[in-house]
Structure 1
Amino acid sequence: MDNNYVIPYQVFIIFLNVSTSFSSELLQATRQGDMDDQYHLTDAIAHLTSKSMVGCLADCSSRLQCMSFFYNKDTMDCFLHSDSFIYTVPTETGAGWRFYLTEDVSGRCPSNNGFKYYRTLDLCYSINAPVPIDFTAIKSFCAVLGGELIRISSLQRQQYIQQVTAADPTQRICIQGTDSINSPNWTFDDGTPMTYFNWDESASEPDGGKGNLEIFTDYKWHDLGSPNGNPCLLICEKRRIT
């Protein structure tokens, strides 16, 4: 066998009892072979010692913030992260390091079409390639995936989206929200009133009457018309319907 052969992925499944709205969860850890011999220390939510990868996965499962982990079987080091590393590039290299991304296989957040599950916020999301701003097309794209354009409904969601997109060079992120249904009030697409905002007050936002929302400079919100030629990062989500 070629000693330089890289395993593209490797799957491990473990049943977990965690304190969420589920009585139990089923998580799957998938080894990302293209990140072998790399690891990342910055913003790790925990640094632990574990005798096995399965033990590291169990540690990850016990922390709702954990989405991924780096494990080295030789040193038994286990670094837990809340980032899916879609855009974040590991900053360290070393022999024996392996990176695993967790996936929910309980049915809450199927991983097809690139969806990831952040259990802390019960957020099932998919980050997609930038597209020209056209909210009709953007919302149709998310609907085809079985979801909708992401809602930023709390400071915690705002901060998490900032974290997972920090390394992406796209200046804009399209988000759900409109003042066209109950002007001048802002609602989500189904008419639910919005209660959290992060307006760019230095730019006198919102201007009003433009109908749509984007995250722009310094992750502040702007209202805008559609379509326009600027590209925005497209994030879809699958909400829990109660």
Structure 2
Amino acid sequence: MIRELMFLCLLNRTPALINIGFGVKWKEFDNVLVSKPFTFEILNVYSSTECVLLCLQIEACVSVFYRRQHRRCQFHDVLFMSPEDGQQDPGTEYYSLTVGTCPPGYVHNRLLNICYQLHLDKITYDDGLTDCTSRGEHFAVIDSEDKQNHVAKQITLSSDAAFSYFLDGSDAENEGQWVFHDGRPMTYFAWSPDNPTNTSEQHDYLVASRFTKPFLWQDRRRVETKRYICQKDL
């Protein structure tokens, strides 16, 4: 998927930014523009290098389209995953931003200090968690309204939104007492109407549900198959 890296440490500008981050070019998006509403844009930009540098300087920027023919940078706070969501736009290049220890191909929201990756395979809770922990990660922790809104937007704009996702959070140990993977009690909740259901002791695991926009939560069983989101601690 990711074919080419462009390190900002090669630039001779803004010394304070050296070695902090780099842009990852998504070759499959060459000559493609995703025409979703962008966060903002800057005109009269003459290179993709400058475009990525500007993205690095803007904390809200997760990815950027450089429209070479129009000399425009269009900045986004989400990461697009499929060129099929876009349309032909000759000369356009697409870059995601990688900063610090957040790996290439992950969504890195620097304002919220969260680094995560959507996984589009539908598998059980246990299999998803095993995949996350194999890389030293865990299911995504949503502990604020801002994080809930960001993740819901990311799901909606970057993938087929007709699927639900496992998140971090469970009351398997004590019914009604929801905790994160590290034992911290949960204090923020984005339950969908009539949830949590507590219809059985097996409904103990948190899911961002496709049935309630924008992906409000339900308590579900661990044997169900869902997509999932892995988070890397920074």
Do these two structures clear the TM 0.5 threshold for a shared fold by scoring above it?
A: yes
The amino acid across from 1:30 in the alignment is V
Q: What CA distance in whole angstroms lies between the structure 2 residues aligned with 1:17 and 1:127? A: 33
Describe the shift of the 1:53–1:162 C-alpha distance in structure 2 as closer, same or farther (beyond 3 A).
same
Conservation of the 8 A alpha-carbon contact between 2:8 and 2:18: no
Q: What CA distance in whole angstroms lies between the structure 2 residues aligned with 1:88 and 1:81? A: 15
Match of 1:200 among 192, 205, 221: 192
Per-residue Cα deviation, 1:165-187 (whole angstroms, up to 9, x for no partner): 11424421111111123432211
**2:30 match:** 36
Q: Secondary structure in 1 aligned to 2:228? A: strand
The within-5 A match list for 1:89-168 is: 89-104=84-99, 106=100, 108-111=101-104, 114-133=105-124, 135-166=125-156, 167-168=159-160
Describe the shift of the 1:143–1:72 C-alpha distance in structure 2 as closer, same or farther (beyond 3 A).
same
The amino acid across from 1:79 in the alignment is Q
Q: What CA distance in whole angstroms lies between the structure 1 residues aligned with 2:42 and 2:19? A: 22
**1:227 match:** 223
What's the % identity of the aligned pairs? 21
**2:46 match:** 51
Q: Secondary structure in 2 aligned to 1:190? A: coil
How far did residue 225 of structure 1 move? 2.0
CA RMSD of aligned residues (A): 2.3
* Structure 1 gaps, min length 5: 1-7
* Structure 2 gaps, min length 5: none
Describe the shift of the 1:233–1:25 C-alpha distance in structure 2 as closer, same or farther (beyond 3 A).
farther
The number of residues matched between the two structures is 220
TM-score by length of 2: 0.84
How far did residue 13 of structure 1 move? 1.3
**1:3 match:** none
Per-residue Cα deviation, 1:155-203 (whole angstroms, up to 9, x for no partner): 11111111121142442111111112343221112210111111122xx
TM-score by length of 1: 0.81
Describe the shift of the 1:198–1:12 C-alpha distance in structure 2 as closer, same or farther (beyond 3 A).
same
Select between 79-88 and 189-198 the one with higher mean Cα deviation: 79-88
**1:188 match:** 180
Per-residue Cα deviation, 1:183-241 (whole angstroms, up to 9, x for no partner): 3221112210111111122xx2112242211111121211122213xx3111100123x
Describe the shift of the 1:61–1:164 C-alpha distance in structure 2 as closer, same or farther (beyond 3 A).
same
How far did residue 40 of structure 1 move? 3.0
Describe the shift of the 1:44–1:17 C-alpha distance in structure 2 as closer, same or farther (beyond 3 A).
farther
Describe the shift of the 1:97–1:87 C-alpha distance in structure 2 as closer, same or farther (beyond 3 A).
closer
Conservation of the 8 A alpha-carbon contact between 1:151 and 1:176: yes
Select between 80-89 and 62-71 the one with higher mean Cα deviation: 80-89
Q: What CA distance in whole angstroms lies between the structure 2 residues aligned with 1:9 and 1:226? A: 36
Find out whether 1:176 has 2:168 as its counterpart.
yes
Q: What CA distance in whole angstroms lies between the structure 2 residues aligned with 1:87 and 1:155? A: 27
Q: What CA distance in whole angstroms lies between the structure 1 residues aligned with 2:205 and 2:94? A: 38
The within-5 A match list for 1:70-81 is: 70-81=65-76
